[in-house]
Every structure is written in C-alpha cells, then in structure tokens.
Amino acid sequence: MTRIAVLLLACTTALPGCGALLSEGTGAAAGIGSASLAEAVGASAAATTGIGIGVQAGARAGLQYAQRRTQRTAQLQLAATAGPLEVGQVAPWSVDHTIPLQPDEAGEVAVTRRISAGTLDCKEIVFSVVAPESRRFYTATICRDEATWRWASAEPATERWGSLQ
C-alpha cells in the first residue's frame, strides 16, 4: 500500500492544476495507509475504520492549509506589486510557487481607484492572469497596513480562489 500512496503523491504533485485529484488522492492515500497499518497490528474493524477516517480528515485539512498558504502568497505578491502604483498605472506581476499545488502565474495589475479617509489607505485593483490560451481578469481591494500593502478583499472571485480564501 505504501508504494501506491507514494506513486499517487508523486503523480499529483507533478500536475499542479489538478486540485481535486490532489485533494481526493491525499485523503484516500492517508486513509488507506493508516487503516492498513491499524489492521496489521490487529485493531478491530471499528478501530481500523475510525483510525482511517481520522487520518484521512487530518490529511485533507493539511492539504487545504497548504493550498490557502499558496493562494495567500499570490495575493500578497499582487498587493506588493500594486501598492506603489498610482491610479491608472499598470505593472506586470508574477508568482512562482515553491510547492507546486498551484501553477505559477503572471499577468498585469492596474490601480483603478484610491479609497482613503484618515488613516485608511486602500486601492481598488484590476489584475489579469495569463494562461497558455486565455487571459482572465479579476478585481480586488488592497489596503496599506503601515508600510505593507495587504489583500483586503473578502471574496475576490469564487472561480479564482474557491472556498479556500
């Protein structure tokens, strides 16, 4: 069973665009591996099932955490690129992920308006993500937190970030 889990993990990390396969594969491999181990040491069927389900849930939660961190990296890179721009300016942006859970991305970002009052300093941005045969556009809001620009949108695009924002 361990060879299958390692093979599944190797295949899914080689395909960074296959999030669903990675999610299901991680949970299934963890569940099968832990249930096999519990059965091998003589645990009852109920204990084996419980251990398998618990480890599977933990593996999925760990993967979702890693996916959120990957998406946060892209959001912070966009905010850092757009922060110094004035309204109407456009700049290229890109992110190279160290863990291949998401593909590396690039495009352009433009500041469309500034929103400020008192110590609140925010900007509305439009950014593109260029794929091999398409270009998609999204909007978001970034705000300055002292010297650092941060992502401030609660829900930039479900299509883009999914439920893991």
pLDDT, tens digit (0-9, with 9 covering 90-100), for 29-74 = 555 555 565 556 566 666 666 666 776 777 677 666 666 676 788 8
Q: pTM of the prediction?
A: 0.59
Residue 126 near residue 103 (C-beta atoms within 8 A): no
**Orientation of helix 19-40 relative to helix 2-13, angle to 10°:** 170
How crowded is residue 109: how many other Cβ atoms within 10 Å of its Cβ? Answer: 23
Q: Is the pLDDT of residue 12 over 90?
A: no
pLDDT in tens, 130-163: 988 899 999 999 999 888 999 987 654 555 556 6
